[in-house]
Amino acid sequence: MTGLDPMIDLKNMTNYAAKIAQELSLQSRFVDAVIQLLDEGATVPFISRYRKEMTGTMDEVQVAQVRDRVSQLRELDKRKEAILKSIDEQGKLTPELKSKIDAAETMAVLEDLYLPYKPKRKTKASVAKEKGLEPLANMLFAQNAFDTELEAAKFISDEKGVADVEEALQGARDIIAEWVSEDADSRKKIRTLFQSEGVVTAKLMRGKEQEGAKYKDYFDWQESLKDIPSHRLLAIRRGEKEGILSMDIAPEEESAIALLNRQFVKSNNAASVHVETAVKDSYKRLIKPSIETESRLESKKKADLEAIGVFSENLKQLLMSAPLGQKTVLGIDPGFRTGCKVVCLDKQGKLLENTTIYPNEPQKDKQTAGAIVMALAQKHNIEAVAIGNGTASRETEQFVKSLGLPKNIIIAMVNESGASIYSASEVAREEFPNHDITVRGAVSIGRRMMDPLAELVKIDAKSIGVGQYQHDVDQNSLKSSLDDVVMSCVNAVGVELNTASKQLLTYVSGLGPQLADNIIQFRNENGAFKSREDLKKVPRLGDKAFEQAAGFLRIGGGKNVLDQSAVHPERYETVETMAKDLGCTVVDLVKDSNLRQKIDLKKYVTEEVGLPTLQDIIQELAKPGRDPREQFEAFAFDDHVHDIKDLTIGMKLPGIITNITKFGAFVDVGVHQDGLVHVSHLSDSFVSDPAQAVKLQQKVTVTVLEVDVPRKRISLSMKSDPFGKSPAPKQRKKREEPQVEGDLQAKLAMLKGKFGN
C-alpha cells in the first residue's frame, strides 16, 4: 500500500456548480441552488415555475440540463473512487497517477488511465511475462543498438516453454504491443483520429440481396463518422442487427499506424524494427477493436440523443395540440367489413352509448347508418364528430358530411395512432370491462379531440408514432426523456383535480402512481375536493408532495378562487395582502383589471418572493387556470382526393404534419399514406433543422412532386414554386370521383408505422 487515501468526498472532489455554470453559461450560485433543490426532491417543473428567485429564472430545459450534468459528474466521481481504491490496493497508486485520475473529465480518459492496472484474463502478453520475457521486451523497447537475436537466445528455456529465438522475440513483441495499447496518450491520439478521420463503412452480407432490399442504399456505403446523420447511422446499425449489413468504423489504417510509430519508434536499428512490428500488431489486434467499440458506442449515443430529441419535440407538440374542450362528442373508429364503431361521450368524456354502423363496403348500408348517426346526434345534443384517420377514414368522413348534420357540429379527423395500444391496455380494460377493444378505441378517438393530452398520457409514448427509429435507440434514455416531456406538458397545462384520470395525475409534479391512486380512491370515497387544502387529507400525501403538486392542480368552482389558478398556496397570503391593501376581496382582484393595475409589486418583494414570482401571480389573476394551448381549429382534406391513385404531379393539397424527422416532415393529405416533404422543400429559404420550420399537427398546403404507387411513396413540397423556373407538368390526370374501396394493405402499413418506424 502506498499510504495515499483514495477515498473521495464527492462534494469536495469537483465543484459541480462552478463547472456546470461554466459549461452552460449560467451563474454558479443559481446552479448550486438548483442542485440543492433537486437533492431535496424538487421536480424540474416545480423548480422552474415556483423557485424563480433561487434559480435566476432558469427555464425547464436549463434545470433539466443541470440535473443531467450533475448526475454524470457524480457517476464519474464514483468511478474515480472505485479506480483509486483498486489501484491503491495493488500498491501502485502514486501521487502523479492520483492527480491524473482526479483531473480526468471523461469516462474514456479515466478508463485509459486505469487500463494498465485493470485485472485481466490471460493475454498473449501475460503468457509472455510468465515465460520471463519482460526483460527482453524492455531491451527492445529501449531501442538501443544490440544483437537482438543473440540477446533473445539467452531467454530460450525448456522449463519456461521458450523453444527458440523467434518465440522469445514474439513474446517480447506481445508485451510491447500491450504496453502500446495501454498507453493513455496513444489511446487519446487514436481516439481523436477516429473522431476526425473515422469512416463508417457498410457492406451487404453475402446472399442477403433479396432479404435486405429495403437497405439497398447501404449495400456499399461510406461516410465520414463526424458527418453521418443520426437517422443514417441508426438505419445502418439496424441493418447490421438484422444480419443484412456489416458495419465498420475506422480511419485509414496507415494513418493510425504512422501516428503510433511517431510516438513509439525512436531509432532505426534491429530493435526498433521489432517495436514497429509490435506497434502494428497492437493497433490491429488491440487498439483498433477497442477504439472502434468506443466509437460505435459514442456515435450511437450521439445518434440516440438526436433521435430522442426529435421524438421528444414531436411528442411535446402532439401533447400540446389544441383541445376541443368540454363538448359532447360522437367518436367514430372507421372500418369496412367490420363496420364503424360509434360512441357518444358527454362533456367529461364519459361513455353514454355505443353502436356499430355499416356505411362502407361491402355492406354499404348508408341509409340505416345515416339514420342512426342523426338520431344519436339529436338524442345526445352532439357538438362535434371525431373520425379516426385509419382504415376507411376518408370514406367515413365523406359519408358523415353527406348526412346534412347541423352546421354548428364540427366534423374533424383525429390521429388515431396508438389507439389500438390503449384499447388493449389494462387501463382501458379497467375503465371499460364490459366493452370490447373496438369500443374502447372509438372512445379514445373521441376523447383525443376533446383533450389530446389527457388521453395520450394513457398510452406508452413510444406507441404514439411520432419518432425516428425509436425502437433502435437506448430505451432507458428514451423513456426518461419522454417522461420528462409528458411531465412538462401536464404541469404546463395544469390538471383538474376532480376529473383527472389516474394516468394524468401520475405525471403531476411530486405525485407518481401510488399517490395518484390514493387521490382517486379518496375522491371516490369522499366526493369532490373542495379546496387544495383537502389534498393533505389524502393518505401518504405529505407536506413535500403537497408543496410540489399543489400549484399544478386545479379545482374549478371551489371555495377559493385561487384554487383554480397556478398561484401556489404558499403565495395565497401575498395575494390576500394585495387585496386587503386595496380594500377589496381576492375575487374582486380576479374580476377587475383596474384594481390589478393599482398594485405596486415592489411593495410585496421579500427575501423569498421576488418580482418574477409576483409578475406570475398578476398574470394568473388576470386569467386563472388559463390553458396555454392554442384554440381548436377543424381541418378538412381535399374532398376530391381519397386514395394515392388520385394524386397527380403538381396538385396542390391541404395537409397536416404528422411526424418531423431530421431529413424532413411527413404530411397526411388524406390518402392513407403520408407523403414526405424533404428538408430541401420545407421552405423557399434554406432550412437546416425541420423542427425550426414546421410543427406537428400544423396545417399546411403542399404540392405533389412525385407519386410512386407500387412503393406507396409520395414526395411533396411546401415551396411556393417547387418546380423552379420550369412550369409544373401540364399533363394532369383528371380528378375522378371518390373511390369507395381503399387500398387496405396500404392503410394497414400506415398504421403499423411510417417509413421505417
Question: What length does the chain have?
Answer: 757
CATH code for the domain defined by 644-752: 2.40.50.140
Cis status of the peptide bond prior to 729, with omega within 30 of 0: no
Q: What is the pLDDT of residue 467?
A: 67
User: In this structure, are residues 493 and 629 in contact, taking their beta carbons and an 8 Å threshold?
Assistant: yes
Question: Using CA atoms, how far apart are residues 750 and 757, in angstroms rounded to an integer?
Answer: 10
CATH code for the domain defined by 124-311: 1.10.3500.10
- The DSSP output letter for 284 is I
Model pLDDT for residues 31-56, shown as the tens digit of each residue: 999 999 999 999 999 999 999 999 99
Residue 728 has pLDDT above 60, yes or no: no
Model pLDDT for residues 445-474, shown as the tens digit of each residue: 999 999 999 999 998 887 776 766 778 889
List C-alpha distances in Å: 303 to 66, 234, 249, 297. Answer: 21, 7, 15, 10
Report the candidate in 73, 87, 103, 82 with the shortest Cα–Cα distance to residue 11. Answer: 73
CA angle 700, 703, 708 (to 5 degrees): 120
> Is the domain defined by 329-450 classed in CATH 3.30.420.140?
yes
Model pLDDT for residues 559-613, shown as the tens digit of each residue: 899 999 999 999 999 999 999 999 999 999 999 999 999 999 999 999 889 999 9
Q: What is the pLDDT of residue 139?
A: 97
Supply the DSSP string of 263-274, one letter for each residue. Answer: HH---SSHHHHH
Model pLDDT for residues 403-444, shown as the tens digit of each residue: 999 999 999 999 888 788 888 888 899 899 999 999 999 999
CA angle 702, 311, 225 (to 5 degrees): 95
Report the candidate in 229, 160, 153, 224 with the shortest Cα–Cα distance to residue 195. Answer: 224
According to DSSP, the β-strands at 340-345 and 664-668 are: unpaired
DSSP-assigned beta bridge partners for residue 153: none
Give the residue-averaged pLDDT of 722-727. 69
Q: What is the pLDDT of residue 465?
A: 67
Q: What is the pLDDT of residue 468?
A: 67
- The DSSP output letter for 213 is G
What letters, b where the CB count within 10 A reaches 16 and e where it falls short, cover 438-477?
bbbbbbbbbbbbbbbbbbbbbbebbbbbbbbbbebbeeee
List C-alpha distances in Å: 19 to 29, 66, 67, 73, 99. Answer: 12, 10, 13, 10, 18
Give the residue-averaged pLDDT of 102-113. 93
Give the residue-averaged pLDDT of 370-399. 95
Mean pLDDT of the chain: 90
- Rounded to two decimals, the pTM is 0.82
Model pLDDT for residues 340-351, shown as the tens digit of each residue: 999 999 999 999
**Residue 159: pLDDT band with limits 50, 70, 90:** very high
Supply the DSSP string of 134-203, one letter for each residue. Answer: HHHHHHHHHT-S--HHHHHHTT-BTTTTB-SHHHHHHHHHHHHHHHHHH-HHHHHHHHHHHHHH-EEEEE
List C-alpha distances in Å: 430 to 220, 320, 331, 437, 453. Answer: 52, 26, 20, 12, 20
Share of the chain above pLDDT 90, in %: 80
Report the candidate in 69, 60, 17 with the shortest Cα–Cα distance to residue 42. Answer: 60
Q: 257 CB contacts (<8 Å, ≥6 apart)? A: 279, 280, 283
Model pLDDT for residues 688-719, shown as the tens digit of each residue: 999 889 998 899 999 999 999 988 899 999 99
Q: What is the pLDDT of residue 757?
A: 35
Model pLDDT for residues 193-238, shown as the tens digit of each residue: 999 999 999 999 999 999 988 899 999 999 999 999 988 999 999 9
Model pLDDT for residues 4-22, shown as the tens digit of each residue: 444 444 444 348 999 999 9
**Residue 265: pLDDT band with limits 50, 70, 90:** very high
Question: Using CA atoms, how far apart are residues 185 and 142, in angstroms rounded to an integer?
Answer: 18
Model pLDDT for residues 614-663, shown as the tens digit of each residue: 999 999 999 887 889 888 888 889 988 988 999 999 999 999 999 898 88
Share of the chain above pLDDT 70, in %: 93
Q: What is the pLDDT of residue 120?
A: 82
Backbone angles phi and psi of 93, in degrees to 5: -85, 115
H or E element, residue 583? none
Angle between helices 270-281 and 165-182 (to 10 degrees): 60
Q: What is the pLDDT of residue 742?
A: 31
Radius of gyration of the chain (CA): 33
Model pLDDT for residues 162-192, shown as the tens digit of each residue: 999 999 999 999 999 999 999 999 999 999 9
Model pLDDT for residues 246-263, shown as the tens digit of each residue: 999 999 999 999 999 999
CATH code for the domain defined by 10-117: 1.10.10.650
Q: What is the pLDDT of residue 550?
A: 97
Taking residue 167's Cβ as centre, other Cβ atoms within 10 Å add up to 17
All structural domains of the chain with their residue ranges: 10-117, 124-311, 329-450, 644-752
Q: What is the pLDDT of residue 751?
A: 32
Q: What is the pLDDT of residue 185?
A: 95
Q: What is the pLDDT of residue 725?
A: 59
Model pLDDT for residues 353-366, shown as the tens digit of each residue: 999 999 999 999 99
Give the residue-averaged pLDDT of 500-529. 96
